[in-house]
């Protein structure tokens, strides 16, 4: 089985199903556990799956753990934690918005850690993304800013 070729379409379908189920299941799970515990479980399950693949495929890891562990805690760990907090404090939709801020975290990490240059348009896009997430969380929490003109 170790040398067997796995159908890439099967892998793609399994990835789509797991991704599609992850947010609704997380929303259900936070009813019975804290966002921090759920984030820890999600991270450990991910670590377990990656460890199995590493052992089965006999992959040699060349990155220093002092680099990998903090990076994993920040991205995607922090985004998952924010998503789980969103599930418990506001709505599942807001949790998903927070969860999808992980791309913003990746850009910020790249700028801080590897000195990636962020131009003005990218910085503006990051700001708009964060502002949109903030507005969505306010609206879901019942804090809204009515900007209609007396219609």
For residue range 116-148, list pLDDT tens digits in order: 898 999 899 888 888 877 777 666 555 555 555
Mean pLDDT of 15-36: 83
End-to-end alpha-carbon separation of the chain, Å? Answer: 68
Domain membership flag for residue 147: no
Q: What is the pLDDT of residues 65-84, one digit of tens each?
A: 777 777 777 777 888 888 88
Which of 100, 113, 99 has its CA nearest to residue 67?
113
Q: Over the chain, what is the mean pLDDT?
A: 79
Mean pLDDT of 97-111: 81
Q: Which domain holds residue 96?
A: 8-140
Whole-model pTM: value is 0.65
| Structural domains of the chain, count | 1
Alpha-helical segments (H) within 61-115: 65-72, 79-89, 92-99, 102-113
Q: What beta strand segments (E) does the chain contain?
A: none
Domain membership flag for residue 145: no
> Residue 143 has what pLDDT?
54
> Residue 9 has what pLDDT?
92
> Residue 121 has what pLDDT?
93
Q: Quote the longest CA-to-CA distance of the chain.
A: 69
Q: What is the pLDDT of residues 35-48, one digit of tens each?
A: 888 888 888 888 88
For residue 13, is pLDDT > 90?
yes
Domain membership flag for residue 64: yes
Domain membership flag for residue 3: no
Q: What percent of the chain has pLDDT over 90?
A: 5
For residue 27, is pLDDT > 60?
yes
Domain membership flag for residue 109: yes
Confidence of residue 151 (pLDDT cuts 50, 70, 90): very low
Question: What is the helix (H) or strand (E) element at residue 135, kind and residue range?
Answer: helix 120-140
């Amino acid at each position: 089985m170790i040398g067997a070729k796995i159908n890439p379409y099967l892998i793609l379908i399994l990835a789509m199903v797991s991704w599609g189920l992850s947010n609704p299941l997380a929303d259900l799970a936070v009813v019975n556990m804290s966002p921090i515990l759920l984030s820890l479980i999600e991270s450990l399950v991910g670590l377990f799956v990656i460890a199995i693949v590493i052992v089965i495929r006999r992959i040699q890891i060349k990155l220093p753990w002092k680099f990998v562990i903090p990076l994993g805690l920040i991205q995607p760990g922090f985004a998952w934690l924010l998503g789980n907090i969103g599930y418990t404090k506001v709505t599942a939709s807001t949790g998903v918005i927070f969860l999808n801020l992980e791309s913003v975290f990746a850009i910020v990490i790249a700028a801080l850690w590897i000195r990636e240059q962020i131009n003005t348009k990218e910085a503006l896009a990051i700001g708009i993304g964060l502002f949109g997430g903030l507005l969505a969380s306010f609206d879901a929490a019942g804090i809204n800013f009515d900007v209609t003109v007396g219609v």
